[in-house]
Structure 1
Amino acid sequence: MSEAPWLTIVGLGEDGLKGLGPASRSALESAEIVMGPPRHLALLGDIGCNTITWPVPFAEGIDRLLDLRGRRVVVLASGDPFWYGAGATLARHLKRTEWVSHPAASTFSRAASLLGWPLETTRCIGLHAAPFTRLRPELAQSARMIILVRDGSAVRDLATYLTDAGYGASLCAVLEALGGPGQRVTHAQADTMPDSAFQHPVCVAVEIAGDGPGLPLASGRPDHWFDNDGQITKRPVRAMTLSALAPRPFEHLWDIGGGSGSIGIEWLLTHPSLSATTVEPRPDRAQRVRDNASRLGVDRLNVVTGYAPDALHSLPAPNVVFVGGGLSAGMLDWLESHLATGTRVVANAVTLETEALLITTQARLGGDLLRLELSRPEPLGPRQGWKAGYPIVQWSVTL
């Protein structure tokens, strides 16, 4: 016989009890204890059972909740608890048989219904505790997005970010307390956003407009997107390298020898489920990698300052490894002896010594070799001629 859930997670809208379905009402009527933020508890009024105010920060309430295991407990969350809500956080601490969830309409659904926007083509983003730079890959002419923000003051910060990025002409709808008696909608352009006292809970629906640069979707973004000191995998080679790395959903990359971080950053830009660790020995470059990743919206890049292979021992196992710096026989031997079967490895060489190393390693382990020779036009007297760059030898293999 399966264990009965002791915890019910109830999604609550700004209309309080009025908007609850039968299952949510039944859970509240039979609850011994209801936990929730002060605003949610106030929306319910006197519900005839003990209440506990969820503390701030949120994590401090989890142990308090777990101490109630075995009693009939309801936790209140905003809208749909499993869409940028508390549900996923709570579920990580509980067995699946211990809880049940009754969602309400999410803020995204309410906003889309109010504005007439199709959710399937609208980007829905939660930035309660995340930087606005995560919007950078999404900023493109005519894009629509609904953004959950931390509080009322964050509305003005968002408008400033859009304006600074060149999208001050974006049309914004500031949506406060959607679905409740205090609902209010304010329409404004980002660069003329009024300095109003917007009230939490609040979200902002944005139609992107302006002459700001859009970040290309294809691998091999222009080099100027990456702050660097000259140590960067240049755009054409980067495009070929990302093709060889062949990212697939939920994979983890080791980028050994980060430089500007362009390989790890472009890997993460490919899909939100991807993760990556960049290993860079120079502290100044490691910080530059962090800055580039944050500015381009992938602050989830893990940057480790240290020398490989010593810095690799404690890292989560990779699915894919790129060696762009520090390539040596010792490094390749370490990777061969420590990486799991099926791990993909891509290495680029520019010197004769490392090229010879890749050729001999390919003869022993197999895989593919590719030689890239690129030329650019440069002045040649009164005319122009092709100036060849250093050829790149690339080895890719599945161990």
Structure 2
Amino acid sequence: MTDAAQPWLTVVGIGDGGLDSLSSEALDALRAARTIFGGERHLAMLDDFSAQQIAWEKPFDDSMIALQACAGSPTVVLATGDPMWFGVGATLTRHVDPAEMRVLPSPSAFQLTAAALCWPLADCQCLTVHGRPLEGVSRHLVPGARLLIYSADGSSPQALARLLTGRGYGPSRIVVCEHLGGTRERIRATVAADFDLTGIADLNTVAVECVAGRAAEPRPLVPGLADDAFVNDGKMTKRVLRGLAISALQPLPGHLLWDVGAGSGSISVEWLRTAPGMAAIAIEPVEDRLAMVRENAEALGVPELRIVEGAAPDAYADLPAPDAIFIGGGLTDGVFDAAWEALKPGGRMVAHAVTLESEAILLDLHARLGGELMRIQVDRAEEVGPYRGFRPAMPVIHWHVTKSDRP
């Protein structure tokens, strides 16, 4: 960086109103630039600027070499609205020292949509399906929720309507906002189950007022979903033990979980649902269960779950170091030792055992490493002829421990 007071890279957020909507500071940056990067739509707005214009390549990361070659020379990146809200600005911070760039935002599509509908923005969930799986919206479907969603293109609103209807939220009101802030601005409303809008512009934002139909099954984000929320073959961590396991794993935003012997994926799915920015890897060797993990992740709104086919410990190879590990699929053949070695200092380990062999392993680990060891048995009321009685399930040994952060 040549001058701390004059960053070489300026990221300019531009609205549908084009150059006329820019501040004098943003226009000065464009006039001073030697190189301007942007999408074809943005570059088409530039008429009398002498700078070299470079359109983004696909994949996007290929453009970073050309951008970084401009270091020290006045450079502008054009973006849509607020570049730091699901925009290119966040990506650029991974390639350029933030001290070398400045960001000049315009109102975001979220702000413009909330203003047009008189929705308090702080009460809305702001999401995007641009470059992200549509199924991620599912976790936010609860009665009364207001969602603002960046679209990928003109087909996104209808795809969202199908998702809502399939999840039992067909009565939900959908508002499609196109080219907000520009001369082609258009706002149209419909109902998800009766979606009938056509000719939707690629540049659009969708607002959803969630209304649950009779088929809707609202799912809370707190751990301990009902067992029937998951497609499973019976080999899964049941509700009571799952809630305990997630609590002991202590999910924190940005942390990574290894779910070893994932089964239905119930632990990793619930981990991801606890907070934004979570990450999880489900490790499972059985092909049929891999399909169940994928189905559960999509249905419960966490399609970002990474699924690794393979048996532990071989499946650990080349995986990023985790902040937490759950072992629910057996503790034999070096499954624990390799996982413990990979776990970050200060990380949390939780393991369950139902067989005598696995129980013996946990007893030994508890003696060596400490932590908390519990034997849990759940009795459920069931019919006994014309009466009811408690029927005990198999006891489960639960162990959790925090890896010392001391060498």
Q: What residue number does 2:306 align with?
A: 302
Shift of 1:94: 1.7
Q: What residue number does 2:351 align with?
A: 347
Q: Select which of 45, 53, 56 maps to 2:55.
A: 53
Deviations 1:215-271 (A, max 9, x none): 122211011221111111111111121122221222211111110000011011111
CA distance 1:258–1:27, change in 2 (3 Å): same
The separation in 2 between residues aligned to 1:121 and 1:381, in whole angstroms, is 51
CA RMSD of superposed structures (Å): 1.9
Shift of 1:356: 2.6
What count of residue pairs does the alignment treat as equivalent? 399
- Residue 135 in structure 1 maps to residue 150 in structure 2: no
- Residue 190 in structure 1 maps to residue 198 in structure 2: no
Shift of 1:90: 2.1
The residue type paired with residue 187 of structure 1 is: A
Shift of 1:325: 0.9
Q: What residue number does 2:263 align with?
A: 259
For structure 1, which segment, 2-11 or 262-271, has the greater mean C-alpha deviation from structure 2 after superposition? Answer: 2-11
CA distance 1:329–1:367, change in 2 (3 Å): farther
The separation in 2 between residues aligned to 1:38 and 1:335, in whole angstroms, is 47
For structure 1, which segment, 255-264 or 336-345, has the greater mean C-alpha deviation from structure 2 after superposition? Answer: 336-345
Secondary structure at the counterpart of residue 326 of structure 2: strand
Shift of 1:119: 1.1
Q: Select which of 114, 117, 120 maps to 2:119.
A: 117
Assess if the C-alpha contact under 8 Å between 2:146 and 2:207 holds in 1: yes
Shift of 1:79: 0.5
Shift of 1:340: 4.4
The separation in 2 between residues aligned to 1:150 and 1:101, in whole angstroms, is 23
Deviations 1:311-368 (A, max 9, x none): 2232111121111012137433444455444222111111222223222321222111
The residue type paired with residue 352 of structure 1 is: L
The separation in 1 between residues aligned to 2:162 and 2:48, in whole angstroms, is 41
The separation in 2 between residues aligned to 1:58 and 1:206, in whole angstroms, is 30
- Residue 379 in structure 1 maps to residue 350 in structure 2: no
The separation in 1 between residues aligned to 2:60 and 2:346, in whole angstroms, is 40
Q: Select which of 160, 176, 179 maps to 2:181.
A: 179
Assess if the C-alpha contact under 8 Å between 2:17 and 2:181 holds in 1: yes
The separation in 2 between residues aligned to 1:180 and 1:381, in whole angstroms, is 71
For structure 1, which segment, 10-19 or 280-289, has the greater mean C-alpha deviation from structure 2 after superposition? Answer: 280-289
The residue type paired with residue 133 of structure 2 is: P
CA distance 1:196–1:54, change in 2 (3 Å): same
Assess if the C-alpha contact under 8 Å between 1:159 and 1:193 holds in 2: yes
Q: What residue number does 2:277 align with?
A: 273
For structure 1, which segment, 7-16 or 286-295, has the greater mean C-alpha deviation from structure 2 after superposition? Answer: 286-295
Deviations 1:275-308 (A, max 9, x none): 1112112122123212221222212222111121
The separation in 2 between residues aligned to 1:367 and 1:117, in whole angstroms, is 48
Q: What residue number does 1:356 align with?
A: 360
Q: Select which of 226, 231, 238 maps to 2:235.
A: 231
The separation in 1 between residues aligned to 2:337 and 2:163, in whole angstroms, is 47
- Residue 33 in structure 1 maps to residue 35 in structure 2: yes
The separation in 2 between residues aligned to 1:88 and 1:38, in whole angstroms, is 20
Q: What residue number does 1:81 align with?
A: 83
CA distance 1:326–1:23, change in 2 (3 Å): same
Deviations 1:191-238 (A, max 9, x none): 222241011210111111132111122211011221111111111111
Deviations 1:111-163 (A, max 9, x none): 11111111111001111122221011100111001101111122111111111
CA distance 1:319–1:56, change in 2 (3 Å): closer
CA distance 1:220–1:12, change in 2 (3 Å): same
CA distance 1:5–1:169, change in 2 (3 Å): same
The separation in 2 between residues aligned to 1:329 and 1:145, in whole angstroms, is 47
Secondary structure at the counterpart of residue 44 of structure 2: helix
CA distance 1:76–1:398, change in 2 (3 Å): same
Deviations 1:156-205 (A, max 9, x none): 11111111211111111110000011111101111222241011210111
Runs of at least 4 residues of structure 1 off by over 6 A? none
Q: What residue number does 1:394 align with?
A: 398
The separation in 1 between residues aligned to 2:155 and 2:345, in whole angstroms, is 51
Secondary structure at the counterpart of residue 53 of structure 2: strand
Shift of 1:101: 1.5
Deviations 1:56-75 (A, max 9, x none): 44334333333433432222
The separation in 2 between residues aligned to 1:60 and 1:333, in whole angstroms, is 40
For structure 1, which segment, 38-47 or 378-387, has the greater mean C-alpha deviation from structure 2 after superposition? Answer: 38-47
CA distance 1:81–1:391, change in 2 (3 Å): same
The residue type paired with residue 362 of structure 1 is: H
The residue type paired with residue 376 of structure 1 is: R
Assess if the C-alpha contact under 8 Å between 1:2 and 1:97 holds in 2: no
The residue type paired with residue 120 of structure 1 is: A
Unaligned runs of 5+ in 1: none
Assess if the C-alpha contact under 8 Å between 2:322 and 2:342 holds in 1: no
Shift of 1:381: 2.4
The separation in 2 between residues aligned to 1:276 and 1:120, in whole angstroms, is 28
The separation in 2 between residues aligned to 1:314 and 1:222, in whole angstroms, is 34
Report the identity percentage.
42
Assess if the C-alpha contact under 8 Å between 2:172 and 2:209 holds in 1: yes
The separation in 1 between residues aligned to 2:132 and 2:85, in whole angstroms, is 15
Unaligned runs of 5+ in 2: none
Q: Select which of 177, 194, 217 maps to 1:213.
A: 217
Q: Select which of 163, 169, 172 maps to 1:170.
A: 172
TM value normalised by structure 1 = 0.94
Secondary structure at the counterpart of residue 83 of structure 1: coil
